[in-house]
Amino acid sequence: MPLFAQAMKWIVDTIRASGREPDTGLRVFSIYISAGLPAPRMRYDSLIATPADSRAIWLGVETIRGYLPLMEKFGIATAAEVDIDTLEERSVGQLKAAEAVIVCPATVGAWCRLPA
């Protein structure tokens, strides 16, 4: 899935160029503890795109749409390279042609109850 791999690289490179780390979710537990908060309960979820249900690709495309100005600013990709208006259609086309699945990047949720 070359287009999916490229899209993920654009996202990760943009996050890093912005001074953030793409794996912050995996460090949330220690962030809570370091902040003096109770140990959080946590959840780890990931969407999977399949040829029969490719809606998860939309989320990646919309993430890239939001990041596109930063991608251009940091020299990661141009609007012409990304071609945002056809990115979802091209991605779904590759997914269907490969008869594959895509495991999208996971999201991490964390929460705790503060003492009364």
Whole-prediction pTM? 0.86
* CB distance 44 to 106 below 8 Å: yes
- Decide if pLDDT at 79 tops 90: yes
The pLDDT of 83-92, averaged and rounded, is: 96
- Decide if pLDDT at 115 tops 90: no
pLDDT at 71: 98
Q: Can you give the residue ranges of every domain in the chain?
A: 2-111
Instruction: Report the candidate in 56, 83, 63 with the shortest Cα–Cα distance to residue 15.
Output: 63
Q: What is the DSSP letter of 81?
A: H
- Decide if pLDDT at 9 tops 90: yes
Q: At what angle do helices 84-98 and 55-73 cross, to 10 degrees?
A: 140
pLDDT at 116: 83
